[in-house]
Chain A
Amino acid sequence: MNRAIGVMTEDLGGLALFVKDVFLTALRTRSNARPLVAQVALVSFRSLPTVAFAGLFVGAILVLQFNLILSRYDAQIFLGGLNTSAVIREVGPLIISFLLAGKVGAYTAAELGTMRVTEQVDAIRCLGTDPLQYLVLPRFLAIILSSLLLLTLSLMIGIAGSVVVAQLLCGINPLQYVTAIPRFLNPAIFAAALLKCGLYGFIVAAVSCHQGYTARNGARGVGQAVTRAAIYTNLYIIFAQFIASPTLNWMLGAAQ
């Protein structure tokens, strides 16, 4: 147990230093949109079907659960507001970011890890190019931007899917469903959800790039890096959710 905590603390310190290096690299890098746009397109298209599928079903599952409870109290009029609020505030960003960690995060850790153990990173350094600038920075920024795009899109699909499921399986009129939404949501809540999406995207980017970039010891090391990237990303996201939810609610006055 002590050893596990020691390893994780050491890793967290390494992650902080890595993020600092990436940040300093970003400051001294002249903006070059081409590799960034290419990476955003790659990451977004690769994950779009998974994220859309998950978004749709997260919304659908919650509708069925909330309908079960609200129908007991004859309060189905609140279904649209309650469900959309839950999807946007907590459940949507959390579940979708877990999927992104498994898909984009694992892919990035494996890709960078393989480059590291096959000496591609050292070769880039020897040819006078900074690998943080050339390999890591475009991936890092692309994951954050893609996460924002994908999470926003999946939340929209989730809400749209909820409307359909509410009508087909719960007999709720779509107009009644949609008119209930503003009673539970305001622009500040949307802003808080977007901030969370950005934060979770940042965690996926930082952990997966760090684990891949520091991989060692051949194929086994790459496997360990991918596993650690998936586990640590999910743990850090849960912890971030625990801190970010009350903080953002308080900061943006979105508690109501």
Chain B
Amino acid sequence: MIRFEGVTKAFGGRKILDDFSFEVGKGEILFLLGKSGMGKSVTLKHIVGLLKPDWGRVFVDDIEVSCLDEARLGPVRRKCGMVFQHPALLDSLTVRENVAFGLRAPEWTEARALERVRETLGLVHLGPELLDRLPAELSYGMQKRVSLARTLAPGPDTLLFDEPTTGLDPITTTAVNALIHDLSRNLHVTSLVVSHDMESALKLADRILVLDQGRILALGTPQDIERSPEPLVQDFLSEALERRRTR
């Protein structure tokens, strides 16, 4: 469970989040939508303690992460896996080493870690022939999938996706969306998905939150959002409709 209570965050005097409060329940899929620079990625970074709020509090499973120092954030970060906007793979490590990066605790023997690496690569539709390749030898889409596998490998309870399907082909996009859906329904993994893709949001989300100027413009089920009179929400909806029509 994730909870934001009156979070305010500013960069250079500009408020990115302004008295922002919301909650995500266990196993729920929440899509965060909004224009660029409206605080969607900043929201995710607060959950794993990469950013601290100027004001307000952030909770993960009733632990206040906004007051934890770097050393005490470890357990929270093990619970919450984050898929970054960039693939963010370590250039000097192979695919195997990248995916196994979060499996360095003593309970992960080498054989068990390798098995887990193969398993998670399979979940993102990548074969074991890529294990010894370097990130530079992979396409951007493959790198994003390896990055997703790396986040899934330790088995987090909560997944934070920062534009997970940007730069992916339609088939892989569908596979990633199906993966988010299955993880939530079968393993009760909580998912927060930052996206510009209203179409995926309407299909997958339990709830959708639309952010504008650091505040909640709309929050509700896909059906609630489709009925929203807000012009920005309508823009997103008509863009999604247009995309569906052109296919």
Contact = CB atoms under 8 A, between A and B. Distances in A.
Interface of A: 115, 118-120, 122-130
B102 A119 contact: no
A122 B84 contact: yes
Q: Which of A115, A125, A126 has the most CB of B within 10 A?
A: A126
Interface in B52-98: 70, 74, 77-78, 80-82, 84-86, 88-91
A216 to B, nearest CB: 11
B84 A123 contact: yes
A120 B101 contact: no
B105 to A, nearest CB: 8
Contact of B50 (A115, A120, A126, A128): A126
Contact of B86 (A118, A124, A126): A118
A126 B89 contact: no
B70 A130 contact: yes
Contacts, number: 49
Contacts of B102: 127-128
A129 B85 contact: no
A107 to B, nearest CB: 13
B9 interface: no
B150 interface: yes
B85 A119 contact: yes
B77 A128 contact: yes
B86 A119 contact: yes
B16 interface: no
Contact of A126 (B77, B85, B90, B91): B77
B50 A129 contact: no
B192 interface: no
Contacts of A130: 70
Nearest 6 interchain pairs by C-beta: A123-B88, A127-B102, A119-B88, A119-B84, A126-B82, A118-B86
A128 B78 contact: yes
Given A118-B88, A120-B88, A120-B90, A126 B48 contact: yes
Nearest to A123: B88
Nearest to A130: B70
A127 B88 contact: no
Contacts of A125: 48, 50, 70, 77
A115 B88 CA distance: 8
A124 B78 CA distance: 12
Contacts of B50: 122, 125-126
A127 B86 contact: no
Contacts of B91: 115, 120
Given A119-B85, A126-B151, 13 more contacts: A118-B86, A119-B88, A120-B88, A120-B89, A120-B90, A123-B90, A125-B50, A126-B48, A126-B80, A126-B81, A126-B82, A128-B74, A130-B70
B225 to A, nearest CB: 29
A118 B78 CA distance: 21
Interface string B194-212: 0000000000000000000
A129 B102 CA distance: 8
Q: Which of A118, A119, A123, A130 has the most CB of B within 10 A?
A: A123
A124 B147 CA distance: 12
Contacts of A126: 48, 50, 77, 80-82, 151
A94 B85 CA distance: 43
Nearest to B102: A127
B164 to A, nearest CB: 14
